[in-house]
Structure 1
Amino acid sequence: MHPDIYEHFHRDEREFVDRAWEWVVNAGEYHETKLTDFLDPRQRFILESLVNRHPDVHAVYSGGHPDAERVRALVAPDYRDLTHEDMGLNVLGITSGDQKFLSLEHGDYMGSVLGLGIKRSKIGDIYVLEDGCHVVVTDDIGTYLHMNLSQVHRVHVMTELLPMDKLKVKEIKLETMELTVASLRLDGIASDVHRISRTKMVIPIKAGRCRVNWKVVEDPSTMLKDGDMVSMQGFGRFKVLETGGLTKKGRYRVKVGKFT
């Protein structure tokens, strides 16, 4: 790969860039087809940019739902019709007779699945529903999860494997917050959203635990803008919904949506 391609990506992304470029080259030069595991939106962006660099390669993406955040990609020579390709997806339905089940959250399901030794890349979006949970998974681990997932956060559960047309999704709820901040800096807005001091917020950012639009950002002074998605390991995620005008005291009005 030409070395200048790395200029566009964070150093932590180089391993994935190398892998993705290998998929593209194998499709273009050796007529191979590659079905990836689940990619997050940043990985999808990287793969799409690499596919666009090769004139003889194309790809399709699916996570089981048009608005899926995590998707699998099928990378192939451009002469291959990908319209009806099987993307290898299953739905793991999780239910329980225990009332405690209703208080389980996204992280509880994620932790229990990963606790069975499953890689994160095998798990797509997780939809916590009123009466259970639907998890999109790669078809090669569906049966294993169905046979082995019996508890979620100490609550006994039952599972079933469902076809993709049975997937139920839930609209993501955002807790809207109206802030006034001195600037649109990442550390300032994040500290207000998570209600901790800016000094303490700088630590996880500099440690590489913050992503803006799924890309690692280590500079606390990074300026945020409308539409930016910020995730902080250990704190959760929020989205900048709107940056408004200035107050009389010269502070910025910002509307943020915190994922609940």
Structure 2
Amino acid sequence: MKPGIYEHFHQDEREFVDRAWEWVANAGQYHEVKLTDFLDPRQRFILETLVNRHPDVHAAFEGGYADAERVRAIIAPDYRELDGEDFKIKVLSITSGDQKLLELEHGDYMGSILGLGIKRSKIGDIHVIESGCHAVVSEEIGSFLNLNLSQVHRVHVMTELLPMDKLQAAETKLETMDITVSSLRLDGIASDAHRISRTKIVVPIKAGRCRVNWKVEEDPSTNLKEGDVVSIQGMGRFAVLEIGGLTKKGRYRVKVGKYV
């Protein structure tokens, strides 16, 4: 690890930085090829940063479809061609004859999968669709889920493993709202977006349960900008869609979109 690399990342990210650098170093020094679990966008950024620091290593990423948020990576010596590599990804189709299936949400499916003892890193994007759910999963746990996932939030379900070309990706839905804030501080925008007091929103932020662009952010005074994605554990997430001009009272006009 080159001196000073840690200063570019949050302290909570050091464990992943160490692991990712080991993958990169092994690819460069020992010609190893590494297929990772699913990475979130922040982890992908960290890995890409480290790969770019090594002259003899490159990486490819795949999450099953063009706009995938969570992806697997293959890290390899730069002489190895990565086009056509098998990222070992499957689609777990979850359906039911019970009409209550239509009431299930992303968190219901996620909770039931994780409840079987599966690590989050083995699961890619989860798509809630009209017929149920298409979950992108790593091939190595696909058969286990297909055999053992029989219920989602008290709804009995049927499962089937499908190839990636059968994936039905859900369209991202945002509930937009226009707010006015005295500043672009994280706590101010987040409190309005979630309709709770600033005093209450500060608690999870300072506790390390808030991420801005998938990076832990513990400073409530951090200024947000257009395009930022904010997630707070237990509250969901929102995106800053637009920052407009000032009102006559000097407040910022901000359009946010809550993920639904």
- Which TM bucket (shorter chain)? over 0.9
- The answer as to 2:160 corresponding to 1:183 is no
**Structure 2 residue 142 is matched with structure 1 residue 142:** yes
Partner of 1:93: 93
Match of residue 107 from structure 2? 107
Question: Counterpart of 1:55 in 2: which secondary structure?
Answer: coil
Find out whether 1:207 has 2:207 as its counterpart.
yes
**2:122 corresponds to 1:122:** yes
Report the Cα distance in structure 1 between the residues aligned to 2:3 and 2:79, rounded to whole angstroms.
29
Gaps of 5+ in 1: none
Structure 2 partner of 1:217 = 217
Q: Which residue identity does 2:155 align to in structure 1?
A: V
Give the CA deviation at 1:2. Answer: 2.2
**Corresponding residue SS for 1:39:** coil
Matched with 1:59 is 59
1:4 aligned onto 2:17: no
For structure 2, the 5+ residue unaligned runs are none
CA distance in 2, matches of 1:93, 1:3: 46
What whole-Å deviation, never above 9, does each CA across 1:139-192 have from its counterpart, x for those lacking one?
Answer: 000000000000000000000000000001011100000000111000000000
Q: 1:83 maps to which residue?
A: 83
Deviations 1:83-138 (A, max 9, x none): 01000100000000001010000000000000000000000000000111000000
User: Which whole-Å CA distance do the structure 2 matches of 1:123 and 1:84 have between them?
Assistant: 21
User: SS of the counterpart of 1:29?
Assistant: helix
Deviating beyond 4 angstroms after TM superposition, the runs of 4 or more aligned structure 1 residues are none
SS at match of 1:38: coil
Instruction: Report the 3-state secondary structure (helix = DSSP H, G, I; strand = E; otherwise coil) of the residue aligned with 1:127.
Output: strand
Q: Any idea what SS the aligned residue of 1:73 has?
A: strand
The equivalent of 1:48 in structure 2 is 48
Q: For 2:110 and 2:6, how far apart are their aligned partners in 1?
A: 32
Amino acid at match of 2:202: V
CA distance in 1 between partners of 2:104 and 2:199 (Å): 32
CA distance in 2, matches of 1:250, 1:130: 45
Aligned to 2:72: 72
**Secondary structure of the corresponding residue to residue 83 of structure 1:** coil
Q: Which residue of 2 aligns with 1:34?
A: 34
SS for the counterpart of 2:37 is strand
Report the Cα distance in structure 1 between the residues aligned to 2:257 and 2:97, rounded to whole angstroms: 33
Equivalent in the alignment of 1:171: 171
Shift of 1:27: 0.2
Residue 13 of structure 1 aligns with which residue? 13
1:189 alignment partner, SS class: helix
CA distance in 1, matches of 2:200, 2:161: 44
Q: SS of the counterpart of 2:219? A: coil
Aligned to 2:234: 234
The TM-score with structure 2 as length reference comes to 1.00
C-alpha distance in 2 between matches for 1:5 and 1:248? 45
Instruction: For 1:15, give the aligned amino acid.
Output: E
| Cα distance in 2, alignment partners of residues 3 and 213 from structure 1 | 25
